[in-house]
Structure 1
């Protein structure tokens, strides 16, 4: 009888231990699941996000922070790609789409940051510029032919104008952050603007250059202040030759800016020996225009 009681007690203890272990595993799984970032962006449906902060960077350009549904959520956008933002324009309202590259990425959960310049004739940019904190706008994506992967080439050269700096900054920051994981890509950037007040993300770019010996930035201003040490006027062939990589099979040139600038840079690139850019860029192209 005592042996039977002893066996029953042992079985009961085992059952309780198994139940406690299962409960612990369930709790642990729930905690891990709650902390795992969840991508929320979808290419086939809109996501409505609320504006939480607006930081003025220049008279007509601001950084807009939109909150994601949960603090642990991430947008879910590959480095080098962009999002579509939809604004209801007209009467009756009709969604008008514009593409923007976030300057934040999935290493910063809970929000997405966009830098947008508001143009008087720009329907979407003007609409975003008039948003008040708490108001919402719709996002969809990701989209775009460029998708950065570590060490895809030996060196990436970049030419940016104005808000065209956003994909360049996103890519360069990802490369510098990836040094710890073996990304050896060298990055050289020419960044052109009208005046010093138009230079976006200058502190962040300078910080990258200070921290990383394989990242360099050369500023060009059309209307420089007295004592300006950077480039003056428009980006020309000599500036590109002196500050960017020589064309090679393991070198890629990225261009983003106003259409007239992009057109001029394509011609300069071709004259220096880069492959002739296609009207619509593909990832494998030596010269990629966003």
Structure 2
């Protein structure tokens, strides 16, 4: 064999190795992407997720952080969808309620629920008893709402109490997407100042995206010093703080459950 032939063989071997390595890398990326895009939820069967952190936000509101199977796992919840959570009430009977995480699929490795617990709420009892290390049974995704980035020019959102969680999820997804230029106008109503959920997070979004996100708080029993709305959400408030009706405008509101316990869907 002459030197030229050996060099040719060496080049062919190197090219073959490079192609094989590239195929392995591409396959791994595809497998990772497929696994990540699939998510951890099952729409037909309940799966259990471990509670790793519980943070009390007020006397009847807590933030629950649940661990996903791996640090790179995504829950697999489309924007505007919710999950069904299963637990037991004070009588030991099974209860299932829908909830919307405040996290997105970009928050890998975990998901969070902000829960307002009512004295007579059946699922509220389950969350009151939930401790770090316990597991929560979850099924999903569920819901009629679908959102595609850029499908409208602006969103008007009207929420009350714990109904803020689906609104917050969608607002975050819109604002944090650099390719989405949709504006968001939120009217958020509560009884007292202490009842306002996710206020720090909402104010942070308003400060970070001043030209695209506006939030107007309404209280039925406001403190002495208050510059927001007072009473119930009125026609005048909606006209002032929501975008005017147009083909490229969508206004959404939260639907209260009959028991007044958190567990909702929301409707455009």
Shorter-normalised TM-score: what interval?
0.7 to 0.9
Superposed counterparts of 1:251-290, under 5 Å: 251-256=249-254, 258=256, 289=267
Structure 1 residues not aligned, in runs of 5+: 263-280, 282-287
| Mapped partners of 1:217, 1:75: distance in 2 | 28
Partner SS, residue 207 of structure 1: helix
Task: Indicate how the Cα distance of structure 1 residues 15 and 117 shifts in structure 2: closer, same or farther if over 3 A, else same.
Answer: same
Structure 2 residues not aligned, in runs of 5+: none
Partner of 1:83: 83
Partner of 2:248: 250
Q: CA deviation at 1:16?
A: 6.7
Partner of 1:217: 215
| Mapped partners of 2:111, 2:165: distance in 1 | 13
Partner SS, residue 228 of structure 1: coil
1:242-276, Cα deviation, whole Å (9 max, x unpaired): 2112223322211115358x9xxxxxxxxxxxxxx
Superposed counterparts of 1:150-169, under 5 Å: 150-169=149-168
| Mapped partners of 2:11, 2:171: distance in 1 | 58
| Mapped partners of 1:90, 1:221: distance in 2 | 32
Task: Indicate how the Cα distance of structure 1 residues 243 and 31 shifts in structure 2: closer, same or farther if over 3 A, else same.
Answer: closer
Task: Indicate how the Cα distance of structure 1 residues 16 and 244 shifts in structure 2: closer, same or farther if over 3 A, else same.
Answer: closer
Partner SS, residue 64 of structure 1: strand
Structural RMSD (CA): 2.8
For the pair shown, the structure with the greater C-alpha radius of gyration is 1
| Mapped partners of 2:257, 2:21: distance in 1 | 60
Question: Contact conserved, 1:163 with 1:257, CA < 8 A, in 2?
Answer: no
Partner of 2:231: 233
Partner SS, residue 37 of structure 1: helix
| Mapped partners of 1:259, 1:41: distance in 2 | 24
| Mapped partners of 1:69, 1:47: distance in 2 | 11
1:33-65, Cα deviation, whole Å (9 max, x unpaired): 458735111101221100011111221111111
| Mapped partners of 2:176, 2:129: distance in 1 | 34
Q: CA deviation at 1:172?
A: 1.0
TM-score by length of 2: 0.86
Higher relative contact order (CA 8 A, sep 6+): 2
Partner of 2:201: 204
User: Which of 192, 195, 204 is the equivalent residue of 1:195?
Assistant: 192
Superposed counterparts of 1:166-181, under 5 Å: 166-178=165-177, 180-181=178-179
1:136 aligns with 2:140: no
TM-score by length of 1: 0.79
Partner SS, residue 153 of structure 1: coil
